[in-house]
Chains A and B, each alone.
Chain A
Amino acid sequence: MTAIEFNHVSKQYRLGLVSTKTLSHDIRRWWLTSIMRQEDPYLKIGETNDRATKGNSEYVWALRDIDFKVEQGDVVGIIGKNGAGKSTLLKLLSRVTGPTTGTIRAHGRIGSLLEVGTGFHSEMTGRENIYMNGAILGMTKAEIDRKLDEIIDFSGCERYIDTPVKRYSSGMTVRLGFAVAAFLEPEILVVDEVLAVGDAEFQKKAIGKMKDVSQGQGRTVLFVSHNMTSVKQLCKHGILLENGQVSFMGTAEDTIGKYLAVNLEDIDKPLAERTDRRGDGRVRFTNVLFRNAKGDVVTEAFVGTPLTIEMYFDINDPSVDLSKAIMACGLSDSYGMSVANWISDEIEHDFSNLKDEKKIVLHIPALNLRPQTYNFGVQLSIGSTSPKDWCDEIGPISQLTILNDSIFTPGVNLKDCRGHQALVPARYL
């Protein structure tokens, strides 16, 4: 039984500002489609949405010719890089916006969760907000009445339930929001990365609830996430989006594999030529080198040994104030989970003579990470680490393989093990 069917669905966005051109395009479009009964001329143009290359047209296809079916009771993870069209796809399905062409058909009520706590008002109490949020998400009053106790219980905010939400901590607000969403009972549930909020304990609870919903109650779930671990845990199937098109469909595991392979495709390119980067480009990284204790350039290092990372860059905007630079670099595992990060606002350092050197050097005294291959990525921002201040941000630049060795007991290598990456030297007394 098919629950959701996408039939050649496309979504076009117009970039840039609304100008007099908007009006003239609108008039021309109206003239051709309504009076002359022709096809919309602006649907023929437009480019695939490749964020990195500068396009020539102001029309861009966020999604192009999406065609797939989801069986009832299936849990499908939608994965892809930023800007691949994942969120647009969910927006279409949750009817926040309409498709440009094509049809989406669904069997059953669609509940969408693009955000937790939609419609919350800080002046209203937790209880009032449960009703508000529930009704906005499509629950009836009777349904909310029936589930109210469970919702309050799940949120763990019982004590504060009659207090205005403005007195809540941000964590509590999120828990309350998720609790309402967790008790939505649509046949089709559309979820956008909401699990990435709250503390670890709550995330566990949330994932558990998602599992119940999908496995126990046989509902269809579409789940968008950057976190490959939770996609792998939750989903049976996966859809990989690339530049607004479906590039792969299969089991969750295969799709994740494809996604990770795509992610690594660019790794062989010289860093200066990479285009899959974000940030305003005031500074661009050109090269990254790993050096071992002897000073040799390496791509592999033994566990527990020191490593020096040299990051070279070019300055494209001479006015950039590098004394306020915040450097962040880190290693992530093959599922995209961040394992270790070194962010310069936590590690005291003076970047005042950065302008002359055009090089940042990080020294790691001991690589206490479990032996496997890690991806290395960098990000440089000025002033703050919010995306608008990013100068350059680039995903996997190169890989570092940590080789097995003895770290706990001399002469005894580490065993193959998954699940925890940090190795802190210690011994039982």
Chain B
Amino acid sequence: MKQDTGKYYTTVITPKSYAHGLGLKELWQKRYLIWLFVKRDITVQYKQTIFGMGWYFISPLFTMFMYIIVFGRIAGIPTDDVPQPVFYLSGICLWEYFSACLTDVAGTFQKNASLFGKVYFPRLVSPVSVVISRLFRFSLQLGTFIIVYLFFVLKGVHLCPNWYLLLFPVIILIMQGLALGLGLIISSLTTKYRDLVNFFGVFVSLWMYATPIVYPLSYVTNPTLHKIMLLNPMTALIETFKYGAYGAGEFSWSALCYSFICMLVLLVIGIYMFNRKQKYFIDTI
């Protein structure tokens, strides 16, 4: 829809999709709706679960124990001299948030089909609100990490947090942008070609192993592999967090900038593709 404010008609509906712009202004106008969606998602999660709230705290611990056994004990992969629980939990928390956002955003059209079929509002409202409301669960899991972290600090383990920890909000923002951008691209592709969903599921689980979650980046000694690892925009984000939180891992401003640029490119492509699809998706679902 275009707003021809200068002319008599305020609404013009044509077969063309967005001719220009990403529709961000329209999205901003709907910030109250985004807030309501976020509030709804969180209340619903909160109300439906009594045991579930505890589950959010506990579930990363289960994954952590599994990693300690499989990657720590059996495979014997080092953890940069950081206690294994702290090392694994930091990666698990960030990755879980990222992959949950990605999956949810990718399923936007399928999940909201009935709502989108009844009323118009800028469709971007839904994926954006999902990324925000997922923060709720993420903060609980981050709480688990902090508890485990403090436990080791009290035990006298020297974890040396530093000023780079202040980059945490930046890391989260870049992660959100990446998940949103890529998720929007996938959601636009899967409206018509449904079997891409299967491919996508495999892709996300493999991606985790291409990101230094279960092993430190320093463990990748092969220089070519190391370079390839850095092409993954998630690598720098995870490493920056680990560097800030406990002084292990690699940090470089250029790697972080690279992630940021990747995020911007994917986000713009994603929004563009999503906006092109949103107008006709209901016909193909």
- Who on chain B is nearest to A106 by CB? B11
Q: A18-B284, A97-B283, A98-B279 are in contact. Are A121 and B40 (CB under 8 A)?
A: yes
A97 touches B192 (CB 8 A): no
A103–B117 Cα gap in the complex (Å)? 20
> Which residues of B125-162 are within 8 A (CB) of A?
none
How many Å from the CB of A84 to the closest CB on chain B?
Answer: 18
The answer to the question of B116 belonging to the interface, with a C-beta cut-off of 8 Å to chain A, is: yes
B199 within 8 A of partner (CB) = no
Task: Determine whether A131 belongs to the interface, using a CB cutoff of 8 Å to chain B.
Answer: yes
* Distance from A105 Cβ to chain B, minimum over Cβ atoms (Å): 4
A358 at the interface (CB under 8 A from B): no
Minimum C-beta distance from B6 to chain A (A): 13
Give bound CA distance, A101 to B15, whole Å: 6
Does A123 touch B at the CB level, under 8 Å?
Answer: yes
- A92/B13 in contact, CB under 8 A: yes
In the complex, identify which listed stretch (B41-49, B63-71, B217-225) lies at the interface while the others stay far away. B41-49
Residues of A within 8 Å of B282, CB to CB, are 91, 96-97
B174-206 interface with A by 8 A CB criterion: 192-194
> Are A99 and B44 in contact (CB-based, < 8 A)?
no
Q: Does B121 have its Cβ within 8 Å of any Cβ on chain A? A: yes
Taken together as a complex, chains A and B put the C-alpha atoms of A107 and B4 apart, in Å, by: 10
Give the chain A neighbours of B120 by CB distance below 8 A: 94-96, 112
Q: How far is the CB of A289 from chain B (nearest CB, A)?
A: 44
Task: Decide: A18 near B193, CB < 8 A? Known: A97-B282, A136-B33.
Answer: yes
Q: How far is the CB of B103 from chain A (nearest CB, A)?
A: 21
Are A106 and B15 interface neighbours, CB within 8 A?
no
Q: Does A305 contact B (CB under 8 A)?
A: no
A135 touching B33, Cβ below 8 Å: yes
Establish whether residues A118 and B121, one from each chain, have CB atoms under 8 Å apart when the complex forms: no
User: Within the complex, which residue of A103, A104, A108 is in contact with B10, where a contact is CB–CB below 8 Å?
Assistant: A108
Instruction: Report the tally of A-B residue pairs with Cβ distances under 8 A.
Output: 104
How many interface residues does A have (CB within 8 Å)?
45
List residues of chain A with CB within 8 A of the CB of B1: 95
Q: Would A103 and B14 be within 8 Å (CB), given that A97-B279, A112-B120 are in contact?
A: yes
For the complex, give the distance between the alpha carbons of A17 and B36 in Å. 36
B115 contacts A107, C-beta separation under 8 Å? no
**Quick one: closest A residue to B44, CB to CB?**
A123
Asked if B12 CB lies within 8 Å of chain A CBs, one says yes
A78-115: CB near B (< 8 Å → 1, else 0) gives 00000000000001111111111111111111101011
Whether B119 sits at the interface, judged by CB under 8 Å, is yes
User: In the bound complex, do residue A132 and residue B36 qualify as a contact, i.e. CB atoms below 8 Å apart?
Assistant: yes
A417 at the interface (CB under 8 A from B): no
Decide if B9 touches A22 in the complex (CB within 8 Å): no
Question: Does chain B have a CB within 8 A of A119?
Answer: yes
- A135–B117 CA distance with the chains assembled, in angstroms: 16
Q: How far, in whole Å, are A14 and B285 apart by their CA atoms in the complex?
A: 12
State which of B13, B118, B192, B283 has its C-beta within 8 Å of the C-beta of A114.
Answer: B118
A contact residues around B47 at 8 Å (CB): 123, 164
**Bound complex: CA of A5 vs CA of B11, how far in Å?**
10
Across the interface, A98 reaches (CB within 8 A) one of B10, B15, B118, namely B15
Once bound together, how far apart are the Cα atoms of A121 and B43, in whole Å?
11
Query: Contacting B115 at CB < 8 Å: which of A22, A97, A119?
Result: A119
Of the candidates B10, B13, B48, B194, the one whose C-beta lies within 8 Å of that of A99 is B13
A330 at the interface (CB under 8 A from B): no
A358 to B8, CA, bound (A): 63
A-B contact pairs, 7 of them (CB 8 A): A18-B193, A94-B119, A96-B116, A101-B15, A119-B115, A119-B119, A135-B36
Question: A interface vs B, CB < 8 Å?
Answer: 5, 13-14, 18, 22-23, 26, 91-110, 112, 114-115, 118-119, 121, 123-124, 128, 131-132, 135-138, 140-141, 164
- Extra A-B contacts (4), CB below 8 Å, given A95-B1, A107-B9, A123-B44: A18-B194, A96-B117, A105-B13, A108-B10
- Complex A-B, nearest 10 residue pairs according to Cβ-Cβ distance, in ascending order: A95-B120, A105-B9, A98-B279, A104-B13, A106-B11, A135-B33, A115-B118, A118-B118, A114-B118, A123-B44
